[in-house]
A and B are shown apart, each in its own frame.
Chain A
Amino acid sequence: MSDWLDQIFIRIKQVLLAPLAGAPDWVMQIVSSLINIFALLGVFLTLFALISVLERKILGRMQNRYGPNRVGPFGLFQPVADGIKMLIKEDIVPVRADKIVHFLAPILIAATAILALGVIPYGRNMTPFVIDGGILFFFAVGSTTELAVFMAGWGSNNKFSMLGAMRAIAQMISYELPLIITVLPVVMVVGSLTPDRIVAAQGGYIFGIVPHWFVVTPWGAAAFILFFVSGLVESNRTPFDVPEGESEIVAGHMTEYSGFKYATFFMAEYIGMFAISGLGVTLFLGGWQAPIAALWFIPSYVWFFAKLGTLLFVYIWIRGTLPRARVDQIMNFAWKFMLPMAFTCIVAAAVWHYAGRGLAGWFWSLAVLTAVYLALSQLIGTRKKFAARTYRFAE
């Protein structure tokens, strides 16, 4: 029974493909890919609508107010109202804007965000597109986002747009480095870039209650925290949401977009957040596997989406809790703390591996991480004395 439920989506796909039994191979391939694509879009656009209303509800609860509660039961149909509003808004393109680039930017940014979703294993046998270098594909596609942000900023022909795009690109490039380097220890330990292999390597339990997820090892926990913080920056979430700021640069690279194009940017941001959280679940939290052996009967995709939902809740929680960081603080943090710690994770993972992947390795890698962390915190010097501000160009 549980096995049947676990594989129900695979079965549905087989039923859908059954009428095409006699067709040539390439027809089957294209139809099968199309089914995957529509399933992905359906699931994640629904999740986007759901999260957009849940985020406002949760933030409302944290700020001691109601949040949306007018449309439908508990305000759950709010995204429908929002969608209709966005669709019927006037689409304004500035006269001096570069029409083609201005038009292509939201399309490119949404396309890259959705492409990244394709390589994540959502359940047992439920990876939409199996690629040998799936992790690399994720980051290769993600790296084109910078170009899309630049197109939006430059194509709008607006100071605020350009400055916002500069800020966004600066922090995205800075944090892409720790993001990728924190993935490296996992890839090294598993010896594969394929997401399915990485999930499989985290199978099994100690005494049936402690899973073999990488997050329970010291290097894995450290890498997961660094990965999560970098993910916050990559998806422009609070404390790192400087590319947008009403009082400084309006809406950053999205200033000159209105109506549905703005909604596309908004959607791309959320989809990017889902993708990065999904990758975090796959790499460190055991993917679709159950946390304890006794709960194995619950279908795999339920576990995946439960973990994804937990991570998304933490994103919203952080947004409701922390103030924004300054631009220079964000940059200093990236280069002086995140990057050395990310490299340390690699060393700690190597120590863990050569000490036999057991308890001894656990303690040795913890020792390495603690030593470097303490040394770094001494070196960076948070108790820095501030001199009087000097102006180089304005006076």
Chain B
Amino acid sequence: MNSIAFVAIAILTLAAALAAATLQKLMHAALSFAVTFVGVAAFFFLLGAEFVGLVQVFVYVGAVAVLIVFTILLTRRDVQDTGKPTWSGAIIAIAVFGGLLWAILRTPTLSVAAPKVEALTVKRIGEVLMTGYVWPLQCVGLLLTAAMIGALILVMEEKP
């Protein structure tokens, strides 16, 4: 059952990712990118990490995808892609892929079975965030607040 679900989700996610990379219209690519996000969220669900999956949908589909779509809409005059691949993009893609491959190959295979972890509940995540990781959390909060204030200053109407 789980392996069937895994294969189905993997095919959907990969197809959407491929579509995002190859589709001519930029807007179509952005929308299929949103489908990829949903696929990743489905993986989290399959692994039993409900909270992470829900946050994935919440943040990526609900916010990041809308952000991408609006960025395309407001910055491009024509959303039609020229279709020519750019060399810099290809080099970056190959570099990222190579880096990931290097990291994966360097990782020793796990000979011991994964330790038995208790089911990750929302309550547990909250406790950990508020005790062990409280400083990183506060730093992220500060950063986001600063980004928001910066954005407000950028768009603030100048007084006539």
Contact = CB atoms under 8 A, between A and B. Distances in A.
Given A101-B28, A143-B61, A150 B122 contact: no
B69 A141 contact: no
B62 A132 contact: no
Contacts of B57: 140-141, 143-144
Contact of B58 (A131, A140, A151): A140
Nearest to A153: B73
A133 B54 contact: yes
Nearest to A104: B31
Contacts, number: 62
A191 B160 CA distance: 50
Contacts of B121: 132
A4 interface: no
A147 B58 CA distance: 12
Contacts of B58: 136, 139-140, 143
Contacts of B54: 133, 136-137, 140
A159 to B, nearest CB: 13
Nearest to B62: A143
B120 to A, nearest CB: 9
Contacts of A146: 62, 66
Interface string B116-131: 0000011100000000
Interface string B16-46: 0000000001011001001000000000000
Interface in A95-137: 98, 100-101, 131-133, 136-137
Given A146-B66, A151-B31, A154-B73, A191 B123 contact: yes
Nearest to A180: B58
Given A26-B1, A132-B51, A132-B121, A101 B62 contact: no
A349 interface: no
Nearest to A387: B160
B9 interface: no
Contacts of B66: 146-147, 150, 169, 173
Contact of B123 (A147, A192, A390): A192
A193 interface: yes
Contacts of A26: 1
Residue from the set B31, B51, B55, B69 with the largest chain A CB neighbour count within 10 Å? B31
A150 B27 CA distance: 11
Contacts of A140: 54-55, 57-58, 61-62
Interface residues of A, number: 25
A136 B51 contact: yes
B27 A132 contact: no
Contacts of A390: 160
Interface in A176-234: 191-193
Nearest to B121: A132
A365 B54 CA distance: 32
Residue from the set A26, A100, A136 with the largest chain B CB neighbour count within 10 Å? A136
Nearest to A154: B27
A352 B28 CA distance: 50
B65 A193 contact: no
A143 B50 CA distance: 17
A44 B93 CA distance: 48
Contact of A143 (B63, B122, B123): B63
Contacts of A141: 57
B28 A132 contact: no
Contacts of A98: 25, 27-28
A100 B31 CA distance: 11
B119 to A, nearest CB: 8
Contact of B122 (A100, A144, A151, A193): A193
Interface string B69-85: 11001000000000000
Contact of A133 (B51, B63, B69, B73): B51
Residue from the set B58, B65, B121 with the largest chain A CB neighbour count within 10 Å? B58
Contact of A101 (B27, B55, B63, B122): B27
14 contacts: A26-B1, A98-B28, A133-B51, A136-B54, A136-B58, A140-B54, A140-B61, A140-B62, A147-B69, A154-B27, A169-B66, A173-B66, A192-B122, A193-B122
Interface of A: 26, 98, 100-101, 131-133, 136-137, 139-141, 143-144, 146-147, 150-151, 154, 169, 173, 191-193, 390
Given A144-B62, A146-B62, A390-B160, 11 more contacts: A101-B27, A101-B28, A136-B54, A137-B54, A140-B54, A147-B62, A147-B66, A150-B66, A154-B27, A173-B66, A193-B122
Interface of B: 1, 25, 27-28, 31, 34, 50-51, 54-55, 57-58, 61-63, 65-66, 69-70, 73, 121-123, 160
